[in-house]
Structure 1
Amino acid sequence: MATRLVRFVADGTTHWGTVNGDEVTALEGDYPTTGEVLEHGAEEWRAAVDRPPTHRLSAVTVVSPVTVPCRVVCQGANYRQHAIESGMDPDNRAFNLFFDKTDASVTGPYDPVTRPGHVRLLDYEIELGLVIGATIDGPVTITDDQLPRYVAAITIGNDLSARDVQLPQGQYFKGKSYRGFCPLGPELLVLDEADYPLLDDLTLELRVNDEVRQTDSTSTMLYRPAESLSELSTFCNLSPGDVVLTGTPHGTAAKSPHPLIRRLATALLPEHVMWRLFIRRNEDGPFLRPGDLVTASIRSGDGSLDLGKQRTPIIAADTPNGETR
């Protein structure tokens, strides 16, 4: 059975603990980082099920189960319908798309996220996060059978994206890395070996103000975890506690114009004019605004794996004169 770990603050001290309903049993060992609890805490978290709870979960502050510094690696257009929505042919993909977010973007599962004052097209992207459990410092071919060696746990991620920075500027790194743009958690679900086949049978769901915006199954991924980690190992070092976000389903607020329309617009308009029109056309779209509440959940079809529910309020940025926008 998978172990449900949370990282939480109680009485000014940060702890790791195992979760059972609304009760949490704090681990007694000192594990400053996610990598350390994954590498050295197994004996204690397995024994914690036989100890009485130490806290009520509702009475503590749950924080990100992925500590920083860490590497946050992302995949793009990795679900069939999202690839189509992005103007790609999922049956003729030439490559697996990777990019980074900075770890400055990492925040907790219930923390409010500030929409930067210059951002108007703030988008949501629910993602399954693979939390690395072993050092990868050279090329390695990973099979499904070997996945437990490299992926220790999973968690919920939200790859928040400033589309009016990312797209006109071609800045994935910047447009996806503002502070708070990577809510993670609430739980670090540490998998048993028998749980790994269920990575192909997880349902992701994201809601904005209780309206379903995204839902899909990991069974529609184009590049599965073992294949993606094998390719990553050819150019990227990963350490225990790093996280790989495996792409988002269809239903994001940003919609890509048909490739023919994009080519015509590029041919007929100066690039800065084309993107100004794109932003103006999308300002009234279903992008996130201050006051919105984003909820995200991931669970297996049989209910045996449940990563909890992430809740992210979107708030306005304060301007220098004290007003909000």
Structure 2
Amino acid sequence: MALHVLHFLHQGRAQWGVVADGAITPIPGEFESTAAFIEANPVERLLVLGAPSIRESDVQWLSPVTANQQFICQGANYRQHMIESGLDPDVKKFNMIFTKAPSCIVPANSDVVKPKEVRFLDYEIELGLVLKRNITSRETVTDQNLHDYIAGAVIVNDYSARDIQIPQMQFYKGKSYRTFGPVGPYLCLLEKQDIPKLKELVLTLTVNGTVRQNDTTAGLVYGPAETLTELSGVHDLHTGDLLATGTPSGCALTIPTPEKQRAAAQLPDAEKWRMFLKMQEERQQYLQVGDVVEAFIASYDRSINLGVQHNVVIEEAA
């Protein structure tokens, strides 16, 4: 049985609780990290809690992934997103991995601050997976044992400054500004029988009420099991760490056709990037101050429902 957990602030105290139908059942204990919470609270323990005692409307959301965990990401990992990016999903032979600064993690209803130097602010709804245990050596993860490695799922929005990320070739910098990583609201804790539903989740993102992204996790190119297998051979992962699995098509970013890319390769770098930025200027989809971004992820049967992220784009303070 999937259980939806909320990390929240109530009467000045950070707490965790099981949430259902707008009511919260507090979970006893103090947990200063996502790792500490997961290690102390197997699903079977939470199934025997008492009745709800707090209204969700009376609390302040916190991120279910705390800022002392790693934030690891996959790029170009949905078939249609690869195609719109000028890549062939049937030819690509590598799993693109990068990281975001944990300091960009904020609650799901936080404002997103548009830095003064950023012109092209983009959105990326993603399914986030939270690790259940440490991985400190090379391991083989499969769909059959994935439940041993994944504690639960969250919504992630991988906000990106495209004019920093791409022309400067700065994935980390362009995606790590403070507030560029809303997580939550809910951490859906999963049991073994829930894991197959990770392949049939629907992701939807709207800007000012208009759908920009809509796809299912069936479109993932590199799934969680093979990704964790690969990452296990690279560096240590820990309980509570976050893996964001990539975004579907529909972002504001536009990429030149392969023909234009080949032609641009013959140009000096300054001219090549001037042309790229000119292409982005023509895209009305980039986020502006005042825009409202909402993100939803749920299974078809709604047994997994990760809630709604609601972010307003604001200007950086002087």
Fold in common (TM above 0.5)? yes
Q: Distance in 2 between matches of 1:164 and 1:39?
A: 40
Residue in structure 2 matched with residue 22 of structure 1 by the alignment: 22
Residue in structure 1 matched with residue 139 of structure 2 by the alignment: 140
- Secondary structure (helix, strand or coil) at the match of 2:290 reads coil
Residue in structure 1 matched with residue 40 of structure 2 by the alignment: 40
- Secondary structure (helix, strand or coil) at the match of 1:311 reads strand
Residue in structure 2 matched with residue 223 of structure 1 by the alignment: 222
Q: Distance in 1 between matches of 2:235 and 2:159?
A: 23
Matched, 1:235 2:234: yes
Residue in structure 1 matched with residue 206 of structure 2 by the alignment: 207
When you count helix as a share of all residues, which structure comes out higher?
Answer: 1
Quote the offset at 1:305 in angstroms: 1.1
- Secondary structure (helix, strand or coil) at the match of 1:154 reads strand
Matched, 1:177 2:176: yes
CA offset digits 1:169-212 (Å, max 9, x no partner):
00001101111111100000000211001111111000011100
In structure 1, give the amino acid aligned to 2:72: V
Quote the offset at 1:75 in angstroms: 0.6
Percent of pairs with identical residues: 43
How many pairs are equivalent?
316
Q: Distance in 1 between matches of 2:20 and 2:106?
A: 23
Residue in structure 2 matched with residue 276 of structure 1 by the alignment: 274
- Could you tell me the TM-score, scaled by structure 2's length? 0.97
CA change 1:76–1:130 in 2 (3 A) is: same
Quote the offset at 1:144 in angstroms: 0.8
Question: CA contact under 8 A between 2:111 and 2:313: conserved in structure 1?
Answer: yes
Quote the offset at 1:52 in angstroms: 2.3
Q: Distance in 2 between matches of 1:198 and 1:44?
A: 22
Residue in structure 1 matched with residue 9 of structure 2 by the alignment: 9
Range with greater deviation from structure 2 (254-263 or 109-118): 254-263
Question: CA contact under 8 A between 1:17 and 1:45: conserved in structure 2?
Answer: no
Q: Distance in 2 between matches of 1:119 and 1:140?
A: 40
Residue in structure 1 matched with residue 85 of structure 2 by the alignment: 86
- Secondary structure (helix, strand or coil) at the match of 1:66 reads coil
Report matched runs for 1:78-157 at 5 Å: 78-157=77-156
Q: Distance in 1 between matches of 2:67 and 2:144?
A: 29
Cα RMSD after superposing both structures: 1.1
Q: Distance in 2 between matches of 1:167 and 1:180?
A: 20
Which runs of 5 or more residues in structure 1 are unaligned? 320-325
Question: CA contact under 8 A between 1:121 and 1:279: conserved in structure 2?
Answer: no
Q: Distance in 2 between matches of 1:284 and 1:4?
A: 41
Residue in structure 2 matched with residue 323 of structure 1 by the alignment: none
Question: CA contact under 8 A between 1:29 and 1:41: conserved in structure 2?
Answer: no
- Could you tell me the TM-score, scaled by structure 1's length? 0.95
Q: Distance in 2 between matches of 1:33 and 1:69?
A: 7
Question: CA contact under 8 A between 1:165 and 1:175: conserved in structure 2?
Answer: yes
In structure 1, give the amino acid aligned to 2:306: L
Structure 1 residue ranges, 4+ long, deviating more than 6 angstroms after superposition: none
Q: Distance in 2 between matches of 1:52 and 1:65?
A: 22
Quote the offset at 1:238 in angstroms: 0.7
Q: Distance in 2 between matches of 1:230 and 1:240?
A: 16
Q: Distance in 2 between matches of 1:122 and 1:276?
A: 17
Which runs of 5 or more residues in structure 2 are unaligned? none
- Secondary structure (helix, strand or coil) at the match of 1:92 reads coil
CA offset digits 1:272-317 (Å, max 9, x no partner):
2322332233234211111011100111112221111111111011
- Secondary structure (helix, strand or coil) at the match of 2:295 reads strand
Q: Distance in 2 between matches of 1:241 and 1:169?
A: 31
In structure 1, give the amino acid aligned to 2:70: R
